[in-house]
Amino acid sequence: LCFYPLRRLHPRPNPLQHVPHSHPPLALHGYHDDALGRRQRPHRRRKRLQGSPPHRFFLGLTEAPYFPGAVYLLSIFYTRKEVATRIAILYTGNILATAFAGLIAAGIFHGLDDVAGIAGWKWLFILQGAVTFVIAVIGYFVLPDFPLTTRWLTEEERQLAHNRMELDTVGNKGETSTWKGLQQAAKDPMVWIFCAMAHLHLAANGFKNFFPTVVKTLGFNTTITLVLTCPPYLIAGASTILVSWMSGKYNERTWHITASKTVAVIGFASAAATLNTAGRYVCMVIFTIGTYAVNSLILGWCGSVCGQTKEKKAVAISMVTMIMNISFIWTPYLWPSSDEPRYAIAMSSSAAFSIGTAALAWVAKIILKRRNQKLRAQDSETEVFYVY
C-alpha cells in the first residue's frame, strides 16, 4: 500500500541534482532503505518482540517500497529481453535470505544472546538495521537515476540507455503526470491480469513462511531441519536465473510460465501423496524450483507490456507487487498444524493456484496477440510488438 503514496512525496525532484521533471528511482532506494534501517534499530529498546506492533508497522511502512522500486529501476534500464534475468538476480537475494535466515538467526542468538545485556533477537534487529543503513547510504551515491539524468554516465551512454528503451517500448507516449499514470494503469485490463496472475503465483508460494515446519515433519532434529531448508532455495535461485535467461533469449513468456508451474504442480501433488521421507524432500525441492522460477517473469512481463509512460509503468509494478503480497494475509490459514504431515489442503491449493497462474498467462497471451494484430492493421511498418 505504501509504494505509490510514498512516490508522491517526491514525484519530480532529482535526488542528486534537483533537476526539474526528473523522477527519483535512486531516492526510492536510498531514502527508503535509510528509513528502514532507522526503523529497525529502535526494536532493540523493546522488552519483548511481541510488544512492539507500532515499530513493526513502521518497519513495514518503510520497507514496502523497496522491492517494487528496485524492479522499476531495472525496468527503465533493461529491455524486455534483459529485464527478467536482472529481476531474477535481484530476487535471488530474497531467496538466499530465506535459505540462510534460520541459520543466521540461530548463530546470532547463540553467539550474542545477553552480550552487553542485550537479548539475541534484539541483536538481530540491531545488526539488520545497521547493515541496511550503511548500504542505503552507499546506494544513494551509486545507484543510477533515469538514463538521461544519471550523472556518472557520459552523454553518449545516457543517450544510448535512453534510446534503446524508447525503441523497445510498444506505444511509447513519453511522460505524463503521476495521477494520469495511475489512471492509465487502472484502466488497462492487462495490469489487472498481471495483478491476478501474481497474486495466485504468490499464493502458491505460501509455503515460504512454513517451509521449516514442513521440513521438520520429515522427523529430523532442529539443526538438521535448518540445514535441509537451504538446498531447495539454492537450487531454486539458480533455476530462476536460468529460466529468466531462457525467456529473454527466446523472447517468450507464456510457455516458460506454464512449464515452471507444471513442475510446481507435480511437486505439490507428489508431496501430498507420499509419506516417504526421501520422496517428500525431493518433492519439496521440485515445487520450490517450479514456484520461484515464475516471479521475475511476471514482473518483467508487466513492466514491458505496461510501459507506455514511465508513470504507468511505475504504478503498474507497484499495483502488481501490492496485490500479490496480499496473498500472505490469507494463505497461512491453509497450513493448520492439524494437517501435518501431508498438508494436503495447502499442497492441493498451491497446485490449483499454480494452474490458475498458468491459465492467466494464456489469457494474457490471447489479449496481447490480438493487440499485436491491431498494431499491424494500423501500421504495416510497425516493428515493435507486445511479447507473450
Query: Which candidate, 300, 290, 306, places its Cα nearest to that of 357?
Result: 290
Per-residue pLDDT of the chain (388 residues; tens, 9 = 90+): 555 544 444 444 343 433 333 333 433 344 344 444 444 444 444 555 555 667 777 777 777 788 888 899 999 999 999 999 999 999 888 888 877 777 777 788 778 888 888 888 788 888 888 888 898 889 888 888 889 888 888 999 999 999 998 888 887 777 778 888 899 999 999 999 999 999 999 999 999 889 989 999 999 887 788 888 889 999 999 999 999 999 999 999 999 999 999 999 999 999 999 999 999 999 999 999 999 999 999 999 999 999 888 889 999 999 999 999 999 999 999 999 899 899 999 999 999 999 999 999 999 999 999 999 998 888 877 778 888 9
Give the model's pLDDT for residue 301. Answer: 94
Give the model's pLDDT for residue 203. Answer: 96
Give the model's pLDDT for residue 28. Answer: 38
Residue linked to cell 508522491: 8
Centre a 10 Å sphere on the Cβ of residue 336 and count the other Cβ atoms it contains. Answer: 11
Of the CA atoms within 13 Å of residue 247, those in its CB half-sphere come to 34
CA 301, 302, 303, 308 torsion: positive or negative? positive
Of the CA atoms within 13 Å of residue 332, those in its CB half-sphere come to 7
Strand, coil or helix: what is 165? helix
Give the model's pLDDT for residue 324. Answer: 93
Give the model's pLDDT for residue 323. Answer: 94
CA 312/CA 194 separation, integer angstroms: 14
List all residues 6 or more positions away from 339 whose beta carbon is below 8 Å from its beta carbon. 345, 346
Query: Which candidate, 327, 266, 264, places its Cα nearest to that of 297?
Result: 264
Assigned architecture for domain 3-378: Up-down Bundle (1.20)
Give the model's pLDDT for residue 48. Answer: 52
CA 23/CA 63 separation, integer angstroms: 20
CB 28 within 8 A of CB 73: yes
CA 185/CA 205 separation, integer angstroms: 26
Give the model's pLDDT for residue 94. Answer: 82
Render the burial of 240-274: b for 16+ CB within 10 Å, e for the rest. Answer: bbebbbebbeeeebbebbbbbbebbbbbbbbbbee
CA 258, 261, 265, 267 torsion: positive or negative? positive
